Amino acid sequence: MVTVEARFSRTPDGVVWTRGGPAYRFFTRYLSAFERVRVVARVADVPSPEEGATRVDGDAVQVWPVPWYVGPRQYLARRSAVVRAVRAAAGPGDAVVLRVPSPIGALLARERERTGRPYAVEVVGDPYDVFAPGVVDHPARPFLRWRETARLRRQCRNAVAAAYVTERYLQARYPARAGAVTAAYSSIDLPPEAYLPRPRRADRVPEVPTLVSVGTLEQLYKGVDVLVAALARLAATGLALRLVHLGDGRCRPQIESLAARWGVADRVTLTGTLPAGDAVWRQLDAADLFVMPSRTEGLPKALIEAMARGLPAVGSAVGGIPELLAPEDLVPPDDVTALADAIRRLVTDPARMTAASARNLARAADFAETALAPRRDAFYRAVRAATRDIVPGHDRAAAPR
């Protein structure tokens, strides 16, 4: 059983869909050690799937629906129903993997701890950075930062096994307990066709270089506002650039307003959320430089995907980004001047762009399925063994409708 913070939709025929989130292929990775996978996530009933949606459930993969909510207000209003659904999702003998940090995962961790049943964690983010100043604008931000950080540390200490998407960063802040099974592997799911066969070669400076960024606009932790400010600063110095951002959310009007205020609205294109795969790759292939000015990250899948397309990249020195990019391609978060200077250095130097493309494509190869699958599979087998050693097997009924 796997908890995720994705939000899915379900059509009247009972099929569950996602647009941009983890889909069926992602969850089949757990079948290397288990006969069935039950995905616990928020689900909304819809009359038909969105354009470009991908199926989540399928052979041996079931979705256990949690009542749909967005944000703390809706969560509080539906908390009782959410708690009931989460508690009913896992039986005594189920192997439970919590992808954390996660409110749904926290509910189930508390229930497993209360009943003395084991669980494992896959640590995919850092609440300490998510609730840092400038990332979330909320009066309770300091308290939430303390609470969520303490909660994740407790979960890692209590888990029988802990996997991390970073190689060092998250392990240092959220250590596993002594004797627990540990692993390091990215959650990325890139098929072989996601990789270019060879690096890009930049023979000249593009007339109007295109920057591309990817990430949610639900909050500003991806730093898109900083990127728009850097674009405006470069435009004021005479360097013509354009920006294409892939992603959507409630902060989109704010980004559009900032672009208009700084005089670069005609240089900024917000595509909204695109289906994974070809639609994203086309945008990456059409760009000259990938930019990730995040205020917080785990190990960003969007950056690895861009590197697999041979894109030179600039990123902020937060989370796992320094594990991916060379030091000369890193900038401090929230530093408009440093970001603008780093962008200028790359896009105006074809030799530097060519070297960065080769370096990034080689690093992205470390996240190919052939490299990650053996580590993931070994971890899942260890989780199964740990669960079997503590609690006898137990099957669950079908998911509620």
CB-based contact 162:185 (threshold 8 Å): no
Per-residue confidence at 130, pLDDT binned at 50, 70, 90? confident
| CA angle at 81 for the pair 75 and 86, rounded to the nearest 5° | 90
For the segment 24-72, what is each residue's pLDDT rounded down to a tens digit? 999 999 999 999 999 999 999 999 999 889 999 999 999 999 999 987 7
How far apart (Å, rounded) are the C-alpha atoms in residues 318 and 310? Answer: 22
pLDDT recorded at residue 141: 84
pLDDT recorded at residue 92: 85
Q: Which residues is 242 bridged to in the sheet?
A: 210
For the segment 222-279, what is each residue's pLDDT rounded down to a tens digit? 999 999 999 999 999 999 999 999 999 989 999 999 999 999 999 999 999 898 889 9
Count the neighbouring beta carbons within 10 Å of the beta carbon of residue 62.
Answer: 18
pLDDT recorded at residue 399: 45
Per-residue confidence at 174, pLDDT binned at 50, 70, 90? very high
Mean pLDDT of the chain: 93
Count the neighbouring beta carbons within 10 Å of the beta carbon of residue 22.
Answer: 21
Residue 374 has pLDDT above 80, yes or no: yes
Residue 281: HSE in the Cβ half-sphere, 13 Å Cα cutoff:
13
203 or 304, higher pLDDT: 304
pLDDT recorded at residue 397: 40
Nearest to 247 by CA among 267, 266, 219: 219
pLDDT recorded at residue 263: 96
Q: Which distant-in-sequence residues (6+ apart) come within 8 Å of 363 by Cβ?
A: 307, 324
Residue 401 has pLDDT above 80, yes or no: no
CATH 3.90.190 fits 2-190+368-390, yes or no: no
Per-residue confidence at 396, pLDDT binned at 50, 70, 90? very low
Q: Exposed/middle/buried for 395, CB within 10 Å: 0-12, 13-18, 19+?
A: exposed
pLDDT recorded at residue 391: 53
How far apart (Å, rounded) are the C-alpha atoms in residues 24 and 30? Answer: 11
CB-based contact 109:122 (threshold 8 Å): no
Amino acid in the structure at residue 147: R
Amino acid in the structure at residue 244: V
pTM of the predicted structure, to 2 decimals = 0.83
Per-residue confidence at 132, pLDDT binned at 50, 70, 90? confident
4 or 397, higher pLDDT: 4
| CA angle at 173 for the pair 167 and 178, rounded to the nearest 5° | 85
CB-based contact 101:6 (threshold 8 Å): no
Domain ranges of the chain: 2-190+368-390, 192-366
For the segment 313-372, what is each residue's pLDDT rounded down to a tens digit? 999 999 899 999 999 999 999 999 999 999 999 999 999 999 999 999 999 999 999 999
Per-residue confidence at 166, pLDDT binned at 50, 70, 90? very high
DSSP codes, 238-280: T---EEEEEB--TTHHHHHHHHHHTT-GGGEEEEE---TTHHH
Nearest to 94 by CA among 388, 401, 399: 388
Per-residue confidence at 393, pLDDT binned at 50, 70, 90? very low
179: left (phi over 0), alpha (psi -120 to 50) or beta: left
CATH of 192-366, one of 3.30.470.10, 2.30.30.790, 3.40.50.2000, 3.40.50.150: 3.40.50.2000
Q: Which distant-in-sequence residues (6+ apart) come within 8 Å of 30 by Cβ?
A: 2, 37, 97, 380
Tokens of 72: 């703390």
Fold match flag (2-190+368-390 vs 192-366): yes
How far apart (Å, rounded) are the C-alpha atoms in residues 355 and 299? Answer: 22
CB-based contact 167:184 (threshold 8 Å): yes
CB-based contact 99:124 (threshold 8 Å): yes
Residue 373 has pLDDT above 90, yes or no: yes
